[in-house]
Structure 1
Amino acid sequence: MGRFWDKYTGTQHPDREAAPLPATHVRAALLALNGPDVPFVVREARPAEKADLVAEWRLQEPAWQTFFARSELDRQFRIRMRLVPEKREVRTLDEQWEVTWAGTTPKVATSGKYSRGPTTTISKRWTHEQGSDGRKQRVQTFGFDSREMKDPLRNTVLDSGWTWRGMVFKL
Protein backbone atom coordinates (compact mmCIF):
# COMPACT_ATOMS: atom_id res chain seq x y z
CA MET A 1 0.00 0.00 0.00
CA GLY A 2 3.09 2.23 0.34
CA ARG A 3 3.27 4.26 -2.88
CA PHE A 4 -0.51 4.31 -3.38
CA TRP A 5 -1.03 5.58 0.18
CA ASP A 6 1.72 8.18 -0.26
CA LYS A 7 0.01 9.49 -3.40
CA TYR A 8 -3.36 9.59 -1.63
CA THR A 9 -2.03 11.50 1.38
CA GLY A 10 0.29 13.82 -0.55
CA THR A 11 3.45 12.38 1.00
CA GLN A 12 6.70 12.96 -0.88
CA HIS A 13 10.18 11.64 -0.15
CA PRO A 14 13.45 13.48 -0.84
CA ASP A 15 15.97 12.40 -3.48
CA ARG A 16 18.36 9.77 -2.25
CA GLU A 17 21.28 12.17 -2.89
CA ALA A 18 19.88 14.86 -0.58
CA ALA A 19 21.80 14.92 2.69
CA PRO A 20 19.40 15.37 5.63
CA LEU A 21 19.89 18.63 7.51
CA PRO A 22 19.38 19.07 11.27
CA ALA A 23 15.90 20.05 12.47
CA THR A 24 17.08 23.56 13.40
CA HIS A 25 18.20 24.15 9.79
CA VAL A 26 14.89 22.87 8.38
CA ARG A 27 12.96 25.16 10.75
CA ALA A 28 15.15 28.13 9.79
CA ALA A 29 14.74 27.38 6.06
CA LEU A 30 10.95 27.28 6.40
CA LEU A 31 10.87 30.54 8.37
CA ALA A 32 13.19 32.12 5.77
CA LEU A 33 10.42 31.75 3.15
CA ASN A 34 8.77 34.86 4.66
CA GLY A 35 9.20 38.04 2.71
CA PRO A 36 7.45 40.85 0.88
CA ASP A 37 7.16 38.83 -2.34
CA VAL A 38 5.21 35.90 -0.88
CA PRO A 39 1.45 36.07 -0.20
CA PHE A 40 1.63 33.98 2.98
CA VAL A 41 3.44 33.93 6.30
CA VAL A 42 5.30 31.12 8.09
CA ARG A 43 5.36 31.53 11.86
CA GLU A 44 5.94 29.67 15.10
CA ALA A 45 2.81 27.81 16.15
CA ARG A 46 0.84 28.75 19.24
CA PRO A 47 0.44 25.99 21.87
CA ALA A 48 -3.24 25.47 21.01
CA GLU A 49 -2.33 24.71 17.38
CA LYS A 50 -0.42 21.55 18.36
CA ALA A 51 2.31 22.08 15.78
CA ASP A 52 5.81 23.51 15.49
CA LEU A 53 5.24 25.88 12.56
CA VAL A 54 2.18 27.25 10.78
CA ALA A 55 1.96 28.67 7.29
CA GLU A 56 -1.17 30.70 6.66
CA TRP A 57 -2.73 32.71 3.91
CA ARG A 58 -5.67 34.95 4.64
CA LEU A 59 -7.45 36.60 1.82
CA GLN A 60 -10.63 38.37 1.09
CA GLU A 61 -12.04 37.92 -2.36
CA PRO A 62 -13.46 41.02 -4.00
CA ALA A 63 -17.11 41.63 -3.24
CA TRP A 64 -19.71 41.03 -5.88
CA GLN A 65 -23.09 42.60 -6.03
CA THR A 66 -26.40 41.60 -7.50
CA PHE A 67 -29.59 43.62 -7.69
CA PHE A 68 -30.66 42.27 -4.28
CA ALA A 69 -27.52 41.83 -2.22
CA ARG A 70 -23.80 42.35 -1.86
CA SER A 71 -21.67 39.30 -1.01
CA GLU A 72 -18.07 38.80 0.01
CA LEU A 73 -16.00 35.63 0.63
CA ASP A 74 -13.41 35.57 3.41
CA ARG A 75 -11.02 32.61 3.24
CA GLN A 76 -8.15 31.34 5.37
CA PHE A 77 -5.86 28.55 4.21
CA ARG A 78 -3.43 27.13 6.77
CA ILE A 79 -0.85 24.33 6.89
CA ARG A 80 0.18 23.13 10.32
CA MET A 81 3.63 21.49 10.38
CA ARG A 82 5.26 19.29 13.00
CA LEU A 83 8.95 18.46 12.65
CA VAL A 84 9.87 14.88 13.63
CA PRO A 85 13.70 14.77 13.78
CA GLU A 86 13.90 11.03 14.59
CA LYS A 87 12.23 10.15 11.27
CA ARG A 88 13.45 13.24 9.37
CA GLU A 89 9.96 14.15 8.30
CA VAL A 90 7.59 17.09 8.47
CA ARG A 91 4.02 16.05 9.20
CA THR A 92 1.45 18.41 7.78
CA LEU A 93 -2.24 19.12 8.04
CA ASP A 94 -4.08 21.42 5.61
CA GLU A 95 -7.01 23.40 6.99
CA GLN A 96 -9.34 25.82 5.26
CA TRP A 97 -12.11 28.13 6.48
CA GLU A 98 -14.54 30.02 4.28
CA VAL A 99 -17.10 32.56 5.47
CA THR A 100 -19.54 34.31 3.16
CA TRP A 101 -20.60 37.77 4.30
CA ALA A 102 -23.65 39.65 3.08
CA GLY A 103 -24.90 43.17 3.60
CA THR A 104 -23.00 46.39 3.86
CA THR A 105 -23.18 47.60 7.47
CA PRO A 106 -23.32 45.55 9.57
CA LYS A 107 -22.04 42.52 7.68
CA VAL A 108 -23.77 39.24 8.45
CA ALA A 109 -22.19 35.80 8.00
CA THR A 110 -24.58 33.89 5.75
CA SER A 111 -22.57 30.66 5.48
CA GLY A 112 -19.38 29.08 6.73
CA LYS A 113 -17.35 26.04 5.84
CA TYR A 114 -14.35 24.24 7.38
CA SER A 115 -12.32 21.49 5.75
CA ARG A 116 -9.11 19.64 6.55
CA GLY A 117 -6.91 17.22 4.70
CA PRO A 118 -4.82 17.53 1.56
CA THR A 119 -6.37 20.03 -0.75
CA THR A 120 -5.65 22.13 -3.78
CA THR A 121 -7.85 25.20 -3.92
CA ILE A 122 -8.01 27.47 -6.92
CA SER A 123 -10.27 30.51 -7.08
CA LYS A 124 -10.30 33.06 -9.88
CA ARG A 125 -12.51 35.96 -10.87
CA TRP A 126 -12.64 37.82 -14.17
CA THR A 127 -14.30 40.88 -15.60
CA HIS A 128 -14.92 41.83 -19.19
CA GLU A 129 -13.21 44.97 -20.39
CA GLN A 130 -12.73 46.64 -23.71
CA GLY A 131 -9.24 46.05 -25.10
CA SER A 132 -7.06 48.44 -27.05
CA ASP A 133 -8.41 46.99 -30.30
CA GLY A 134 -11.98 47.79 -29.25
CA ARG A 135 -12.97 44.16 -28.66
CA LYS A 136 -14.17 42.79 -25.33
CA GLN A 137 -11.71 40.62 -23.48
CA ARG A 138 -11.62 38.77 -20.16
CA VAL A 139 -9.26 40.22 -17.56
CA GLN A 140 -8.45 38.35 -14.35
CA THR A 141 -9.16 40.58 -11.34
CA PHE A 142 -8.54 38.04 -8.58
CA GLY A 143 -6.64 34.78 -8.26
CA PHE A 144 -5.84 32.35 -5.45
CA ASP A 145 -4.02 29.03 -5.82
CA SER A 146 -3.06 27.09 -2.68
CA ARG A 147 -0.11 25.56 -4.56
CA GLU A 148 1.60 28.97 -4.40
CA MET A 149 2.02 28.33 -0.68
CA LYS A 150 2.30 24.55 -0.48
CA ASP A 151 4.89 24.05 -3.24
CA PRO A 152 7.62 26.29 -1.71
CA LEU A 153 7.08 24.71 1.72
CA ARG A 154 7.24 21.17 0.36
CA ASN A 155 10.26 21.92 -1.86
CA THR A 156 12.14 23.44 1.08
CA VAL A 157 11.51 20.32 3.17
CA LEU A 158 12.51 17.96 0.34
CA ASP A 159 15.66 19.97 -0.47
CA SER A 160 16.60 19.62 3.21
CA GLY A 161 16.59 15.83 2.83
CA TRP A 162 13.40 15.37 4.85
CA THR A 163 10.09 13.69 3.98
CA TRP A 164 6.94 15.78 3.48
CA ARG A 165 4.19 13.71 5.09
CA GLY A 166 0.78 14.99 4.05
CA MET A 167 -2.64 14.40 5.58
CA VAL A 168 -1.66 13.56 9.12
CA PHE A 169 -4.79 12.60 10.99
CA LYS A 170 -3.31 13.55 14.37
CA LEU A 171 -0.50 16.07 14.77
Structure 2
Amino acid sequence: MGLFDKLTGTRHPTSGVTPRSADEVRAALLGLDGPDVPYRVRRATPAENADLVAEWRILEPAWHTFFVRTQLDRTIKTRMRLVPDSHEVRTVDEQWQVSWVGDTPRLAQSREYSRGQVTMKTRQWTYERGADGKLHKKETFSFDPAEMKEPLREAVLGAGWVWRGVVFKL
Protein backbone atom coordinates (compact mmCIF):
# COMPACT_ATOMS: atom_id res chain seq x y z
CA MET A 1 0.00 0.00 0.00
CA GLY A 2 1.42 3.34 -1.06
CA LEU A 3 1.22 6.72 0.62
CA PHE A 4 -1.56 7.91 -1.71
CA ASP A 5 -3.58 4.75 -0.90
CA LYS A 6 -3.26 5.57 2.80
CA LEU A 7 -4.44 9.14 2.25
CA THR A 8 -7.47 8.07 0.21
CA GLY A 9 -8.45 5.12 2.39
CA THR A 10 -7.83 2.55 -0.35
CA ARG A 11 -7.80 -1.04 0.86
CA HIS A 12 -6.91 -4.25 -0.98
CA PRO A 13 -8.45 -7.67 -0.30
CA THR A 14 -6.51 -10.46 1.33
CA SER A 15 -4.42 -12.34 -1.20
CA GLY A 16 -5.97 -15.57 -2.42
CA VAL A 17 -9.57 -14.30 -2.32
CA THR A 18 -11.20 -14.96 -5.69
CA PRO A 19 -13.02 -11.86 -6.94
CA ARG A 20 -16.78 -12.30 -7.22
CA SER A 21 -18.95 -10.88 -9.98
CA ALA A 22 -20.16 -7.27 -9.98
CA ASP A 23 -23.71 -8.48 -9.35
CA GLU A 24 -22.60 -10.36 -6.23
CA VAL A 25 -20.73 -7.30 -4.93
CA ARG A 26 -23.77 -5.10 -5.61
CA ALA A 27 -26.02 -7.62 -3.81
CA ALA A 28 -23.63 -7.77 -0.83
CA LEU A 29 -23.62 -3.98 -0.51
CA LEU A 30 -27.39 -3.67 -0.88
CA GLY A 31 -27.74 -6.49 1.68
CA LEU A 32 -26.20 -4.25 4.34
CA ASP A 33 -29.31 -2.07 4.25
CA GLY A 34 -31.83 -2.86 6.95
CA PRO A 35 -34.14 -1.25 9.47
CA ASP A 36 -31.68 -1.71 12.36
CA VAL A 37 -28.76 0.29 10.90
CA PRO A 38 -28.61 4.12 10.95
CA TYR A 39 -27.66 4.28 7.27
CA ARG A 40 -29.16 3.02 4.06
CA VAL A 41 -27.62 1.60 0.92
CA ARG A 42 -29.53 2.20 -2.30
CA ARG A 43 -29.15 2.36 -6.05
CA ALA A 44 -27.95 5.78 -7.16
CA THR A 45 -30.01 8.17 -9.24
CA PRO A 46 -28.61 9.21 -12.64
CA ALA A 47 -27.74 12.66 -11.23
CA GLU A 48 -25.51 11.07 -8.54
CA ASN A 49 -23.13 9.65 -11.16
CA ALA A 50 -22.60 6.38 -9.27
CA ASP A 51 -23.96 2.84 -9.03
CA LEU A 52 -24.77 2.78 -5.31
CA VAL A 53 -25.06 5.33 -2.51
CA ALA A 54 -24.79 4.90 1.26
CA GLU A 55 -26.16 7.69 3.43
CA TRP A 56 -27.27 8.33 6.99
CA ARG A 57 -31.02 7.98 7.62
CA ILE A 58 -31.25 11.45 9.11
CA LEU A 59 -34.55 12.34 7.39
CA GLU A 60 -36.36 9.06 8.11
CA PRO A 61 -38.92 9.21 10.96
CA ALA A 62 -37.73 5.97 12.61
CA TRP A 63 -34.19 7.35 12.97
CA HIS A 64 -35.13 10.99 13.43
CA THR A 65 -35.08 10.88 17.25
CA PHE A 66 -31.63 9.26 17.24
CA PHE A 67 -30.17 12.07 15.16
CA VAL A 68 -32.08 14.77 17.07
CA ARG A 69 -30.70 13.40 20.34
CA THR A 70 -27.17 13.41 18.98
CA GLN A 71 -27.49 16.93 17.56
CA LEU A 72 -25.57 15.90 14.48
CA ASP A 73 -24.32 18.94 12.59
CA ARG A 74 -22.89 17.21 9.50
CA THR A 75 -23.74 14.17 7.48
CA ILE A 76 -21.97 12.21 4.77
CA LYS A 77 -23.01 10.36 1.66
CA THR A 78 -20.70 7.76 0.12
CA ARG A 79 -21.11 7.29 -3.61
CA MET A 80 -19.81 4.00 -5.03
CA ARG A 81 -19.01 3.04 -8.61
CA LEU A 82 -18.34 -0.62 -9.42
CA VAL A 83 -15.52 -1.17 -11.94
CA PRO A 84 -15.72 -4.87 -12.94
CA ASP A 85 -12.66 -4.81 -15.23
CA SER A 86 -10.30 -4.02 -12.35
CA HIS A 87 -12.45 -5.56 -9.56
CA GLU A 88 -12.66 -2.36 -7.58
CA VAL A 89 -15.29 -0.16 -6.00
CA ARG A 90 -14.37 3.50 -6.36
CA THR A 91 -15.78 5.66 -3.59
CA VAL A 92 -16.11 9.35 -2.92
CA ASP A 93 -17.69 11.01 0.12
CA GLU A 94 -19.74 14.17 0.23
CA GLN A 95 -20.14 16.02 3.50
CA TRP A 96 -23.06 18.38 4.15
CA GLN A 97 -23.94 20.69 6.97
CA VAL A 98 -27.24 19.81 8.67
CA SER A 99 -29.51 22.63 9.81
CA TRP A 100 -32.12 21.80 12.43
CA VAL A 101 -35.19 23.98 11.96
CA GLY A 102 -37.65 23.32 14.76
CA ASP A 103 -37.82 19.56 15.08
CA THR A 104 -37.12 18.84 11.40
CA PRO A 105 -33.65 18.48 9.90
CA ARG A 106 -32.79 19.78 6.47
CA LEU A 107 -29.58 19.47 4.52
CA ALA A 108 -28.18 22.90 3.86
CA GLN A 109 -25.73 23.79 1.17
CA SER A 110 -23.00 25.64 2.90
CA ARG A 111 -19.43 26.73 2.67
CA GLU A 112 -18.61 23.61 4.68
CA TYR A 113 -19.52 21.22 1.86
CA SER A 114 -16.60 18.97 1.08
CA ARG A 115 -15.90 16.09 -1.23
CA GLY A 116 -13.24 13.40 -1.09
CA GLN A 117 -12.74 10.99 1.79
CA VAL A 118 -14.45 12.14 4.98
CA THR A 119 -13.16 11.01 8.36
CA MET A 120 -15.01 13.42 10.67
CA LYS A 121 -15.78 12.16 14.14
CA THR A 122 -18.08 13.80 16.63
CA ARG A 123 -17.67 13.23 20.34
CA GLN A 124 -19.31 14.81 23.34
CA TRP A 125 -18.13 14.63 26.93
CA THR A 126 -19.32 15.67 30.33
CA TYR A 127 -17.20 16.30 33.38
CA GLU A 128 -18.30 14.76 36.65
CA ARG A 129 -16.77 14.99 40.07
CA GLY A 130 -15.85 11.54 41.28
CA ALA A 131 -15.81 10.09 44.78
CA ASP A 132 -12.19 11.19 45.02
CA GLY A 133 -13.26 14.83 44.50
CA LYS A 134 -11.49 15.13 41.13
CA LEU A 135 -13.13 15.96 37.81
CA HIS A 136 -13.39 13.00 35.43
CA LYS A 137 -14.14 13.24 31.74
CA LYS A 138 -16.90 10.89 30.56
CA GLU A 139 -17.80 10.39 26.90
CA THR A 140 -21.57 10.76 26.50
CA PHE A 141 -21.85 10.44 22.74
CA SER A 142 -19.73 9.35 19.80
CA PHE A 143 -20.59 9.57 16.10
CA ASP A 144 -18.15 8.14 13.59
CA PRO A 145 -18.64 7.73 9.81
CA ALA A 146 -16.67 4.49 10.10
CA GLU A 147 -19.89 2.98 11.51
CA MET A 148 -21.21 3.19 7.96
CA LYS A 149 -18.04 2.86 5.91
CA GLU A 150 -16.49 -0.15 7.67
CA PRO A 151 -19.34 -2.58 6.81
CA LEU A 152 -19.30 -1.30 3.21
CA ARG A 153 -15.54 -1.73 2.96
CA GLU A 154 -15.62 -5.20 4.54
CA ALA A 155 -18.34 -6.37 2.10
CA VAL A 156 -16.21 -5.21 -0.83
CA LEU A 157 -12.97 -6.71 0.49
CA GLY A 158 -14.75 -9.96 1.38
CA ALA A 159 -15.85 -10.22 -2.25
CA GLY A 160 -12.22 -9.98 -3.37
CA TRP A 161 -12.51 -6.45 -4.73
CA VAL A 162 -10.45 -3.33 -3.99
CA TRP A 163 -12.04 -0.47 -2.02
CA ARG A 164 -10.53 2.57 -3.76
CA GLY A 165 -11.02 5.96 -2.21
CA VAL A 166 -10.92 8.71 -4.80
CA VAL A 167 -10.71 12.42 -4.25
CA PHE A 168 -11.53 13.98 -7.60
CA LYS A 169 -13.68 11.88 -9.92
CA LEU A 170 -15.47 8.56 -9.76
Q: Secondary structure at the match of 2:112?
A: strand
- Give the aligned partner of residue 158 of structure 1: 157
- Give the aligned partner of residue 21 of structure 2: 22
Structure 1 alignment gaps of length 5 or more: 64-71
Tell me if 1:146 matches 2:141: no
- Matches of 1:36 and 1:126, distance apart in 2: 29
1:9–1:84 CA distance, 2 compared to 1 (3 A): same
CA RMSD of aligned residues (A): 3.0
- The superposition leaves residues 106-158 of structure 1 with CA deviations (integer Å, 9 ceiling, x where unpaired) of 99x7x662111112121122446799x8x887665433111111111111101
**1:39 Cα offset (Å):** 1.4
**1:61 Cα offset (Å):** 4.8
**1:165 Cα offset (Å):** 0.5
Letter in 1 for 2:19: P
1:106–1:45 CA distance, 2 compared to 1 (3 A): closer
- Give the aligned partner of residue 168 of structure 2: 169
Q: Secondary structure at the match of 1:8?
A: helix
Identity %: 55
1:124–1:58 CA distance, 2 compared to 1 (3 A): farther
**1:75 Cα offset (Å):** 2.7
The answer to whether the Cα contact below 8 Å between 1:125 and 1:140 also exists between their aligned partners in 2 is yes
- Give the aligned partner of residue 124 of structure 1: 123
**1:100 Cα offset (Å):** 4.2
- Matches of 1:96 and 1:105, distance apart in 2: 21
The answer to whether the Cα contact below 8 Å between 1:58 and 1:77 also exists between their aligned partners in 2 is no
- Matches of 2:104 and 2:151, distance apart in 1: 38
Aligned residues: 158
The answer to whether the Cα contact below 8 Å between 2:75 and 2:96 also exists between their aligned partners in 1 is yes
1:3–1:62 CA distance, 2 compared to 1 (3 A): same
**1:94 Cα offset (Å):** 0.9
- Give the aligned partner of residue 4 of structure 1: 3
Q: Which has the higher strand share?
A: 1
**1:170 Cα offset (Å):** 1.1
Tell me if 1:54 matches 2:67: no
Letter in 2 for 1:158: L
Structure 2 alignment gaps of length 5 or more: 59-66
Question: Highest CA radius of gyration, 1 or 2?
Answer: 1
1:137–1:163 CA distance, 2 compared to 1 (3 A): same
Tell me if 1:75 matches 2:101: no
